[in-house]
Every structure is written in structure tokens, then in C-alpha cells.
Structure 1
Amino acid sequence: MPLKKPFIDTNFLPRDVFTYQDEQFYDFVSTCIGHKQADLLKFEEISSAQIYLTCGNVLDILKLESSDLIPFKESLCLKLNNNSFKVLPGVESSFIYLTELLSKKRNEVTNSITQKLNHRASSNIAAATNIATSDNITSSAISTASISTQSQSDIVTHNIVTTPDQHRQLINRAIEEWVLKNKNKFGDQDLKLIQGVDYDIYITVNPNKAVIRCNCGIKATLRHIRNNYQASDQI
């Protein structure tokens, strides 16, 4: 019966393990799987976790005929009667474990960053679409985008629009204006919300409803009420 793949627990790994370089990385490897393995990585100039994960099998170098490799062959391998060397099972398994450990950690870090970016994008989209509750988005005028109530002097009036494309353009313009006004609040001068990348706008043929959908799955519905587009209570 085949052995079950062991559970890989990354909880003990430092959060910044992928920033480790040179001696800090070798100290980590030494603590994790052994100083002999760390010495081999140092000899191979594998100086970080990212480099390690792109190197393939780091034990392949021991197949080469070089006097410089004899100390590593003697410490990591079994010398056979024909003077050839066979990597010890524990050594081979330790590098397999290290690869799986760092690969899993990298995936966790990547997923965490992706979730944070998606949450940030969805929050920005939701806030941008909520402008309809304080500034009417109408078929004849769209107010300057804002999540707080603004004075009448802030309202920007546009020509009467009748087609879904015209409505879509004006909603896009309102979102762009909201982003410009709220960059400082989010502490991000590079903040952008791009249609087709961060969100899409869908307008029914009537058009009595507009849907703004974030690419992370969050959506907001703007309903056509008394000639106005107003945000639905549910996002």
C-alpha cells in the first residue's frame, strides 16, 4: 500500500522567510533540515528560498566527477564498493520536504496577497457605487462621485442620455471622479479603478437597471427610480 503524503505544516515558518538572503537563509536551512544540507546549498550559491525553488534537484550536482564535491559526497552519500556514491535516503527526503514546505508557504503568501488585493478592489468598487445614494445618478445628470453628501455646488450636469452606452460612460466618469477625490483617504496616489480590469458595468436594454460588478465577484445594483439611478441596499 502506498504511503500517504505527510502533512506539511508551515505555521512555524517565519513570515518573511522569502526575504532571507545568504547566511540568514543558510541558518534557516540548517535549523530546518540540517547543517550538511545548508553547506551544500552554500556551495551551490543557492542563497535564498526563491532561488532554491527554481533550481530543480539540488542533489544532481553530486553526480558530477569533481574533487571539490568529495567532502559533500562523503557527508551526504553512502560510498559503495565500486567507489561510486549513493545519496542517503534521509538526505534526499529532507530536500523533498524543504521543497514542499517552501512551495506551500509561497502559495499561502500568494493567496493571501491576492485576497487582500481583491478585498481592497471590492471595497473601492462598493464605495464608488454607493455614490448613488447621496448624489443621484440620473439619465439627464450625474453628480460628482462621493460617498458623503455633497452640496448642490458640487453637482456636475451632463446632457440628456438615452442609450445604455451613454449611461455606462457617465457611470464610468462618476467612478473616475470619485477615485480622484478619494486617493488621499485611501493613502494611495496610484489608486485606479479600470473598467474591464477591476469592474464591469451591465445595463439592461430598458435601461431600468445598471449592475456594477467587481472582478472579485462583488456587485452593486443601481436601479432606475423616478428618472434616477440609485444604489440597491444589497451589494
Structure 2
Amino acid sequence: METNWDASILPNDVFILKDNEFFECIKHVAGDIVCEILKIQMIDSAQVLINSDDLLSFLQHNSPEINFFRDKVCFKTENGSFLIKSGITTNMSMLKKLLLVKKEEQLNIKNDQQQEQIWIDLIKKNSLLKSLFN
């Protein structure tokens, strides 16, 4: 089932945000935990995020930092394995999809503006066309 994504929740300048500005945006859109997941991995911009694969695979490793974090985002099963909370995976997936939609929207706007400029330049250079539009 295809979903229509409304990327208007993301600011138009989302692709130039970096570090704290980016993390504040993520916090607003996807929540504190998703923001922490990105911070711990040093994913500090939208461009880095959309080019990152398997954003939750780091949870499979053991370290004091990761273990502490894993307790927040996973359920521990009786056999000792961990299950990532579905809200986390859904939020990460939706965030990435929203960013891709926003990027596509911005590319379409840029292409439309370039096409419009081509027409304007063509009209300016051609006196017959210019007379039709004046």
C-alpha cells in the first residue's frame, strides 16, 4: 500500500542543518530517542542520515555505552536476546522516508525554477516572442 508522505513537517533548510540544529529538528520530528540514536553514531546531518544503512545494527555489539543505550530501545527476551521496540524502527524508517520525499520535492522545485528561467531567457533573446508577452 502506497502512502502519501507529507514532508512539510520538515523545514525547507533541513539539508543545510548540521550538528545541534539538525538534532533539534530531529527531536521535533521523530523524538528524543531517535535523536539519541543518531547522536551516538555521529549522524549529524540529513545528508549523512539518508546515506546511512541499517541505523540500528550498532545495537548488536557490546560496549558499556551501547549496553546502556540498548536498555532504552530494546526489550530483553527470556533467552537473553534483544528485540528493538517497533516504535523505534518505525520512527527511523518514517524519518528517512520523509527526508527522501523532501529531497525529491526540493529537486522538483529546483527543476521547475530552472525550466522557468530557460523560458524567460528564450523570450528575452527573441524579439518576436518578447512582443507576444508584452
Settle same-fold status: TM greater than 0.5. yes
Shift of 1:49: 0.7
CA-to-partner distance for each residue in 1:159-216, whole Å, 9 max, x for gaps?
Answer: xxxxxxxxxxxxxxxxxxxxxxxxxxxxxxxxxxxxxxxxxxxxxxxxxxxxxxxxxx
Amino acid at match of 1:23: N
2:25 aligned with 1:28: yes
User: How far, CA to CA, are the matches of 1:14 and 1:91 in structure 2?
Assistant: 22
Percentage identity across aligned positions?
24
Shift of 1:81: 1.5
Return the match for 2:52 from 51, 55, 58. 55
User: Conserved in 1, the CA contact under 8 Å of 2:10 and 2:29?
Assistant: no
Shift of 1:232: 9.5
2:43 is paired with a residue of what secondary structure?
Answer: coil
Structure of larger gyration radius: 1
Equivalence map 1:170-185=2 (5 Å): none
Equivalence map 1:1-235=2 (5 Å): 4-130=1-127, 133=128
User: How far, CA to CA, are the matches of 1:55 and 1:95 in structure 2?
Assistant: 11
User: Conserved in 1, the CA contact under 8 Å of 2:5 and 2:98?
Assistant: yes
1:17 is paired with a residue of what secondary structure?
Answer: coil
Aligned residues: 133
Structure showing the higher strand proportion among its residues: 1
CA-to-partner distance for each residue in 1:55-110, whole Å, 9 max, x for gaps?
Answer: 12211111223332112211111111122211111110001100111100000011
Shift of 1:31: 1.4
Shift of 1:34: 1.2
TM-score normalised by structure 1 residue count: 0.53
Structure showing the higher helix proportion among its residues: 2
User: Conserved in 1, the CA contact under 8 Å of 2:34 and 2:88?
Assistant: yes
User: How far, CA to CA, are the matches of 2:69 and 2:2 in structure 1?
Assistant: 28
Counterpart of 1:204 in structure 2 is: none
Pairwise CA RMSD: 2.0
Shift of 1:12: 2.5
User: How far, CA to CA, are the matches of 1:121 and 1:233 in structure 2?
Assistant: 17
